Amino acid sequence: MILNTAATTIDLQLLFNNLPGLYLILDTDLNILAVSEAYLKATLTKRENIINRYIFDIFPDNPAAGEANSVKNLKRSLQRVIQQKKTQTLAVQRYDILQPAEQGGNFEVRYWKVRNFPVKSADHTLRYIIHQVKDITPYYLEKLAHRRNKELIQVVFQTINDVVWDWNLLTDQTTWSEGFNTRFGYPPQETEPTIESWYSRIHPEDLNRIQQSIHGVIQHGLEVWSDTYRFKRKDNSYAYILDRGFVLRDENQQPYRMIGSMIDITNTKKAEQEAKANENRITTIMESFPLMTWTALPNGVVNYYNQRWIEYLGTPLQDLFNKGWQCYIHPEDLETTTRTWQQVLTSGANFEVENRWRASATQEYRWFLVRAVPIRDENNNIILWVGSHTDIEVNKKLQSQLQKQDEKLQRVLTQAPAHFCLMKGPDLIVDLVTPGMVALFGNRYCIGLPAAEAWPEFKEQGFIHILQQVYESGKVYNGVEQKVLYQNNPSGPLKEGYFTFTYQPFYDSNNQIEGVLSVTVEVTDQVKAKKRAEILTEQLRTEKERFQFLAEAVPQFIWTTDAQGYHDYFNQRWIDYTGYDVASSQGTEMWKNLLHPDDRERSRIRWEHSLRTGEFYEIEYRFKSKAEDYRWFLGQASPIRDTSGAIVKWFGTCTDIEEKKRAEQEMLQINQELRKTNEDLDSFVYTASHDLKLPIISMSRIFSELMESAQFHTPDADILVSMFHKSLDQMHTTIRDLADIVEVQKNIDLNWEVTAFADITEEVQLSIQDIIKESEAQIILDFSQVPAIYFSRVNLKSIIYNLLSNAIKYRSPHRKPVVHIKTSLENEFILLTIQDNGLGINLDRHKGKLFQMFKRFHNHVAGSGIGLYIINRIVQNNGGHIEVSSEVDTGTTFQVFLKNQSGS
């Protein structure tokens, strides 16, 4: 007989998989290499999900049973096997198993016996670890329950009082423990051996009830009896007893014995009675309060409301308990009140909150201040909460009124043109500052800071020193139109402004100086307006001097530089004044050296700005003469550009204004009224313009008579006569335009009325009907959004006239003019838009000069260059502004933003 060895080969894998025990084979990295079917079944896992996986990725800790240290203990055992190559056995280990998702995905409590065996090769190298476990969960839990039951029995016996009884139900024989004698004072010889020893000492009022209750348990097949009653002591006093007994029955469920114990609860009963008395006293006190009072259990459940609640809510007490206080509080206050109540229940802190409750009489909500404090026992445990509701409706209304007044005051302070600041103490700590002042100085945080720290730029300018002098001396300081450099943008340079302000001492209730009150009004616009008026006056004087000395040589320094600002030419007047020839003056050093030291940095900054931007250069500075004295000059320069618009040279002049500077000082002293108001200045300009008209008219008449009576033999006579007429016309136009400017300023607030845009536009079209007809202009109107405006009728007509006539005059020769005029609302402005398809303006070159006086950008049409200046001044003086967009040979759009004001 020949055996087939192949047929008898043992399939070890199959054998291992079907071992009856729970096994894993691990490599030294604790990855699972093999697992028995019994292990898979016990751990609720599948082979394909755990093979070649790290064991602790498959079997993690149960987060809810961190005290078991399952992973930690097993990992430590496996590490010892790896290190020591010896078998490791763990004590009973709790290691919960994660259920598959289809079974809920929760952890299932398990207890195991664990052994880990090393598997070594022939050279004693550790190859594998056999991990064997045994699920002992049912056995262990049963053992644990048994142990706990045993402990519970021990605790029960320890808690049993010292009077134990044993009653034979068949013979009525009764046995008592020693506690009966020691607790109640009876000697053993006086203790009857029957049930009468118990019945005879029960209080007569309780005896019948106790007999019925205990016999009811015995006769009705129950096992446990318990009741309370009074039991007489040897001294004839009665003790309050809590009695418990257990009925023992035979296999036929017949009672044959009863065992029990008596617990003396006299002290507890007295405490209950005292507590009841105290509760009655507290209830009486709380009912006597005029407030709505209440109490709550430690868990927050209210268990008492006084009568004031019933009166206020108008609801029966039982309804209040059934529905709960949540039904009577204002819905908006419920969430906050509930959250705060839960917080104090957790923390044990005092409870305080304000909320509203509905009154039954008016069905309106009133405000209450709710307070509650915890009552604690000797162990500091909360046993009760006592609370009250105080009506604060009147206080709330008063508080609301005060808040409205405060908000009103804040609005007044915010909108007032004056800014207030209160600084206290010798360090001038900022105590109060109005929002307008905060915004003016860049929204810097200043409350609580010394003034020198809040506004450091003021210290260098001496204002902090002035404040300190006011605080120390008590004398008021007034600053009028004072120049101030201040930080309006935290990351930007200092800004120049002008302010009129008062620093005055601030006194406390004892008439002691407490601080300094600052009242500040910004007058930057007014000061600049005055300066512009002074410049206008000076320009008028300069024009007059230019006319008088027209035939004389130019009385200025003339100079040129290249595009980088390198001086390369000076005229003779420069040489005569400074004593330096052209070669010595070329470059930048000589120029800088001859400037007054105080003017050098300012001049450098302004000159570099013009070089960088191409803007017109203008500055006043002082130059040293060869006699070593300084004179004031007005420096001006314009860029010369090539055909591409690039600057190739700068042409400049320096005009001696020393006399002008002196005249300004004299004018300031003589004309105080002129410096205070623009009206006086306008009157002066208006008078001066009219005074100049007469000599010009006289000159025109004289020249006309001379033309009639005299004969001119020079061949250029006609040209000279034409030039003279042209000069006279230009002077007359200039004076008339200046008068118009003054007239605009004088009439800025006159003739205000509600004016229809359509009516004004119709009047303007009628006045320029000839040019409209000649040009075949098409004018499209749309005033549907804003048909009228409250404005000066004269000024509105001037605006529309100038812009409409310009749109037609500066039309393109290649197309008929089309002008769109419409109105719309833009926030607080009425927007008047006038759009044409004319020649357009090169804004890259002329935008900065667009609204300057006497500036023109097309010379093929007659004009003075004053129209845009006038309308811009009208708009700005009325709180508006003008925006311009234009494209050469496409057209121009003027957007005039007029302040939307209502007439009264």
How high is the pLDDT of residue 857?
A: 54
- Residue 240: which pLDDT band, with cuts at 50, 70 and 90? very high
Write the CATH number of the domain with boundaries 417-518. Answer: 3.30.450.20
In this structure, whether the domain defined by 749-899 belongs to CATH 3.30.70.1450 is answered with no
- Residue 661: which pLDDT band, with cuts at 50, 70 and 90? confident
| Alpha carbons 56 and 747: distance in angstroms, whole number | 94
Fold of 286-397: Beta-Lactamase (3.30.450)
- Residue 178: which pLDDT band, with cuts at 50, 70 and 90? confident
Q: C-alpha 437: how far from its chain's center?
A: 20
| Alpha carbons 693 and 736: distance in angstroms, whole number | 9
Residue in 99, 76, 98, 100 with CA at minimum distance from that of residue 89: 76
Q: Where are the alpha helices (DSSP H) in 11-84?
A: 12-17, 37-43, 47-50, 55-58, 70-84
Residue in 191, 202, 200 with CA at minimum distance from that of residue 241: 202
How high is the pLDDT of residue 181?
A: 87
Decide which of 485 and 274 is more confident: 485
Q: What is the mean pLDDT of residues 231-249?
A: 91
Write the CATH number of the domain with boundaries 160-264. Answer: 3.30.450.20
452, pLDDT greater than 70? yes
322, pLDDT greater than 60? yes
- Residue 10: which pLDDT band, with cuts at 50, 70 and 90? confident
Q: What whole-number percentage of the chain has pLDDT above 70?
A: 81
Question: Using an 8 Å Cβ cutoff, are 399 and 416 in contact?
Answer: no
- Location of structure tokens 């991990």: 131
How high is the pLDDT of residue 552?
A: 39
**Which residues 6+ apart lie within 8 Å of 891 measured at CB?**
835, 836, 837, 838, 840
Q: What is the mean pLDDT of residues 594-615?
A: 92
Q: C-alpha 823: how far from its chain's center?
A: 38
How high is the pLDDT of residue 188?
A: 87
Which helix (H) or strand (E) segment holds residue 269: the answer is helix 266-288
How high is the pLDDT of residue 739?
A: 56
Q: What is the mean pLDDT of residues 292-318?
A: 89
How high is the pLDDT of residue 285?
A: 64
Fill in the DSSP letter of residue 535: H
Question: Using an 8 Å Cβ cutoff, are 444 and 452 in contact?
Answer: no
How high is the pLDDT of residue 441?
A: 80
- 112-131 CB burial, b ≥16 within 10 A, e <16: bbbebebeeeeeeebebbbb
How high is the pLDDT of residue 355?
A: 92
Rounded to 5 degrees, φ, ψ at 313 are: -80, -25
Residue ranges of E strands in 359-403:
365-376, 382-391
- Domain boundaries in the chain? 11-141, 160-264, 286-397, 417-518, 523-539+656-746, 556-627, 749-899
Q: What is the mean pLDDT of the chain?
A: 82
- Residue 662: how many CB atoms within 10 A of its CB? 11
Q: Per-residue pLDDT tens for 576-592?
A: 898 998 888 888 888 88
| Alpha carbons 898 and 833: distance in angstroms, whole number | 11
Which helix (H) or strand (E) segment holds residue 405: the answer is helix 393-415
- Residue 785: which pLDDT band, with cuts at 50, 70 and 90? very high
Q: What is the mean pLDDT of residues 28-47?
A: 91
- Residue 846: which pLDDT band, with cuts at 50, 70 and 90? low
Question: Using an 8 Å Cβ cutoff, are 654 and 635 in contact?
Answer: yes
Q: Per-residue pLDDT tens for 867-884?
A: 777 788 888 888 888 898
Residue in 455, 406, 459, 433 with CA at minimum distance from that of residue 519: 433
On the question of a common fold for 160-264 and 749-899, the answer reads: no
Decide which of 277 and 673 is more confident: 277
**C-alpha distance across the termini of the chain, in Å:** 134
Q: What are 586's two structure tokens? A: 């070329």
Q: What is the mean pLDDT of residues 190-208?
A: 91
Q: C-alpha 750: how far from its chain's center?
A: 45
Q: According to the per-residue pLDDT averaged within each range, which of 211-220, 681-690, 873-882 is highest?
A: 211-220
Q: Per-residue pLDDT tens for 53-107?
A: 999 998 999 988 888 888 899 999 999 999 999 999 988 889 999 888 888 889 9
CATH of 11-141, one of 3.40.50.1100, 3.30.450.20, 3.40.190.80, 3.40.50.12140: 3.30.450.20
